[in-house]
A = this chain, B = another copy of it.
Amino acid sequence: MQTNEWAHRMASQTIKLTDGGGNPVAGKEVAFRQTNHKFKFGCGIFDAIQVANRNVPADRLAFLERKLDLFLEVFNAATLPFYWGMFEPEKGKPRTLELQVAAKWLKERHILVKGHPLCWHTVTAPWLLELSNEEILNAQFARIQRDVSDFNGLIDTWDVINEVVIMPIFDKYDNGITRISKDLGRVGIIKAMFEKTREFNPGATLLLNDFNTSINYEILIDGCLNAGISIDAIGIQSHQHQGYWGREKLEEVLERFSGFGLPIHFTENTLTSGHVMPPEIEDLNDYQIPDWPSTPEFEERQASEIEEMYTILFKHPLVEAVTTWNFSDEGAWLGAPAGLVRKDNSPKPAYESLKRLIKGDWSTHVTGKTDENGFVSFDGFLGEYDLVCGDQRASFTLDKDTATVHLVI
């Protein structure tokens, strides 16, 4: 364990251990076992909906359950889909219950759930097109009020609004959200959506999210902060279908976006185990090929890129979350071999690398011995812990600058 380079992810902690009668548990061997991370290692895991709702045939369910098991072995955070056009394809018939079941299923497994997104011009409700701009805005507000309220306590992290840099000039097809973003302006629509979301879940972690990592997004964030919008974290997409950014670009992006002093979440990370999409493709959606195979050679490349990238991000003090966008190649965006597991659920090298980092290198499993007064200290990565002493067990949270914790076993 290299204490220095991970210092921002770790803390020293002193525990006072007593028995039920208040007597120090003295001179005993204790084990500290990290059970969860403070850092959010996330993944898009939309299959959780079918697994939790058990609304698919038995063989399919079994397959998906194996996939979810593999997910749960590594990750502690999940992104669930709230694309309006899929969540409420018919006005007034939202898929609330299904998503609640999924969010609850994940929460019970200690997975922090994020909803993605509340407002976006893509996959938005098609029926908005029949409304006036004022009605669209009211429908969007009502949608936020309903969904943020319905999921309060289950989902307290939201990608509030997605891809605003392009939103008002998005011209691939007409849609209700681009229409109102032209009226409100970029900062105006962000402000409106953040305020509405905050109103119905004041304690939530609210993100602005974009794939644009240029100066455009910097200036937009600067404007938002000066306009008093309370953004809790800057969301950065990093779909690298056209090749790994590499250390230099990654550190340059981190440098530029860390200037705001806000937490940074890598919200949608893709590194494929296939050939690289040609650089001349401007909108990734324009690349449509019948088959995009995962190959052994590229799987090794993916593993080493993911290892380097996660290491750089985990080292950066402002990064608080990294989300791999597709857990599996099955159903991955653009048909890319973007998953950590193949279509048949077999783990790729990248899955093993990530598991080793998250559950091995960056997890703390140490032992110590209490002194005559029941005190024992250790250094560990921030997160949730079990202290195990003989056949006794107690849980606690390791965070920065906490006083001595008193545990009773």
Contacts and interface: CB of A to CB of B under 8 A. Distances in A.
A185 interface: yes
Contacts of A191: 226
Nearest to A218: B186
A215 interface: yes
A97 interface: no
A3 interface: no
A224 interface: yes
Interface residues of A, number: 20
A366 interface: no
B165 A219 contact: yes
Contacts of A222: 185-188, 220, 223
A346 interface: no
A188 B226 CA distance: 7
Interface string A207-238: 00000000110011011111110000000000
Contacts of A228: 227
A165 B222 CA distance: 12
A56 interface: no
Contact of A187 (B169, B185, B223, B259): B223
A83 B225 CA distance: 30
Contacts of A182: 259
B226 A187 contact: yes
Contacts of A185: 222, 225-226, 259
Interface in A183-207: 185-188, 191
A105 to B, nearest CB: 40
**A-B residue pairs, 10 tightest by C-beta:** A223-B223, A226-B227, A187-B226, A219-B219, A187-B222, A227-B227, A185-B222, A219-B220, A186-B222, A187-B223
